[in-house]
Amino acid sequence: MAPQMRTIKTDTIVIPKSQRMDAAAVAAKTAAAKAALPQKPQYKSVPLANEKAYYGGMHDYVMDFVKKYMSTHGRTLSIVQGRSGAPFSMIDNVLQQHDIPKELKYLAVIESALNNNAISKVGAVGPWQFMASTARLMGLTVNGRRDERKDLYKSTTAAAKYLAYLYSQLNDWLLVVAAYNSGPTPVVRAINRTGSNNFWDIKKHLPRETQGHVLAFIATATIFENMSKFIGAGPLPSDFDITKNPNEAKAAAKKVAKSPFTPEELKNMAIIRLSEPLSMDLLCLELAMDKRQLEKWNPDYELFEMDVYSSEFYSFRIPKDKLDNFIEKKESLTKRSKQIFSQLNM
């Protein structure tokens, strides 16, 4: 009797040769499918003040500005630091969902000090200081009954969208911060005028307030990310290094501050209270003063000039023998300074 043959089941599927795809074709098809998927934006990192490679020759200037900013804004930064836990956590989460670098949360600090009810003199509202028109474009409801600019979650979502939009146009976070303050048009105009998309190249062609806004952002982000332990410690030592031990810096700050001026300088110095900035170059020209001396006597005047000073007034130091001449020409100096600054903002 012939042996009985058993049928063996198999899952093997035979594909006709005409339908087979070689490995290269499969890879090409897979790559095409991936390319069709929405791509995450590739954002550069946010340049903090200690990044020498980014700032190059401007590094010392930026670090000096950070020190001045911390010295004049220490109290405000300390208050914000104390109440920032929950807001920063929520903002970080929203920014992460939109792939925006977390350092952009510090823009809300310089915009409003994280105050949901903040209202600017030009009508910007909320922690991200949106004007009504921009807020509506970003999907927020703004009407007589409801203003979502004051809602931290919704306004942060809108801010993330707006920051992403600005970055798609400018491809640099410092330019984005500038455009957030002034609107994109002045930034694009400055880029076209200079042929450069480097902030330091176009800085002098931006509105004075916008220049200060960018520097304030750099300072605030740097302080919170790298120097938060120093907030409230007092003035930073002149030789401060970002890598220094926090306890050493605090100990140095607690020492009795020595006057930066000699007895002879104090004897020959007059102090004027300014409510609005004057052009230092104009002062030197009209009153025949030494600019190096004025800069030494008024080391943080740049903050006042760029509208990022901690007070509405500035105690400006000039030589006593120039005081009468200054008083006589103050009205003219004020008008001409406004013209100079307005020309920079055009």
Residues 250-271: pLDDT tens digits?
555 555 456 778 888 899 999 9
At 310 the pLDDT is 76
Distances (CA, A) of 343 to 205, 206, 333, 336, 339: 9, 10, 15, 11, 6
User: What is residue 7's predicted lDDT score, i.e. its pLDDT?
Assistant: 45
Q: Which helix (H) or strand (E) holds 79?
A: helix 59-82
pLDDT of 37 above 50? no
Q: pLDDT band for 216, please (50, 70, 90 cuts).
A: very high
Q: Residue 157 pLDDT more than 80?
A: yes
Secondary structure percentages of the chain, helix, strand, coil, to 5: 60, 5, 35
Structure tokens at 306: 């760029």
Convert the pLDDT of each residue in 159-196 to its tens digit: 999 999 999 999 999 999 999 999 999 999 999 999 99
CA atoms within 13 A on the CB side of 129: 21
pLDDT band at 288 (very low <50, low <70, confident <90, very high): very high
What integer pLDDT is reported at residue 50 of this predicted model?
87
Contact 177, 214 (CB under 8 A): yes
5 pLDDT exceeds 50? no
pLDDT of residue 30: 53
User: How would you label 301-340 residue by residue, b for 16+ Cβ within 10 Å and e otherwise?
Assistant: bbbbbbbbbeeeebebbbbeebeeebeebeeebbebbeee
pLDDT digits (tens, 9 = 90+) for 299-341: 889 888 888 887 888 999 999 999 999 999 999 999 999 888 8
Q: Is 24 exposed, middle or buried (0-12, 13-18, 19+ CB in 10 A)?
A: exposed
Counting residues of the chain whose pLDDT is more than 70, the rounded percentage is 78
What is the amino acid identity at position 188? V
Cβ neighbours of residue 302 closer than 8 Å, sequence gap 6 or more: 65, 68
Provide the pLDDT for residue 24: 59
What is the pLDDT at residue 306?
82
CA angle 296/301/307 to nearest 5° reads 165
Q: What is the pLDDT of residue 227?
A: 73
- Of the pLDDT bands very low, low, confident and very high (cuts 50, 70, 90), residue 6 is very low
Please report which residue ranges of 183-311 form alpha helices under DSSP H: 184-194, 199-202, 208-226, 246-254, 263-267, 280-287, 291-297, 301-305
Least confident of 58-67, 136-145, 149-158: 58-67
Question: Which pLDDT belongs to residue 327?
Answer: 93
- Specify the pLDDT at position 244: 55
Q: How far apart are CA 205 and CA 191, in angstroms?
A: 9
The tokens for 225 are: 């990310």
Amino acid at 190: A
Q: How many residues does the chain have?
A: 346
pTM beyond 0.85 = no
Which pLDDT value is given to residue 251?
55
Residue that has been written with the tokens 């990310």 in this structure: 225
Q: What is the mean pLDDT of the chain?
A: 84
Burial 2-16 (b: 16+ CB within 10 A, else e): eeeeeeeeeeeeeee
- pLDDT per position as a tens digit, 97-115: 999 999 999 999 999 999 9
- pLDDT class of 32 with cuts at 50, 70, 90: low
- For 52-253, CATH number out of 3.65.10.10, 1.20.272.10, 3.40.50.620, 1.10.530.10 equals 1.10.530.10
Report the pLDDT value the prediction gives residue 8, as an integer from 0 to 100: 45
For CATH 1.10.530.10, the residue range(s) in the chain are 52-253
Token couple for 112 = 């409003």
Which has the closest alpha carbon to 277: 238, 316, 233, 242?
316
pLDDT digits (tens, 9 = 90+) for 123-144: 999 999 999 999 999 999 999 9
DSSP for 212-223 reads HHHHHHHHHHHH
Which pLDDT score, from 0 to 100, does residue 9 have?
46
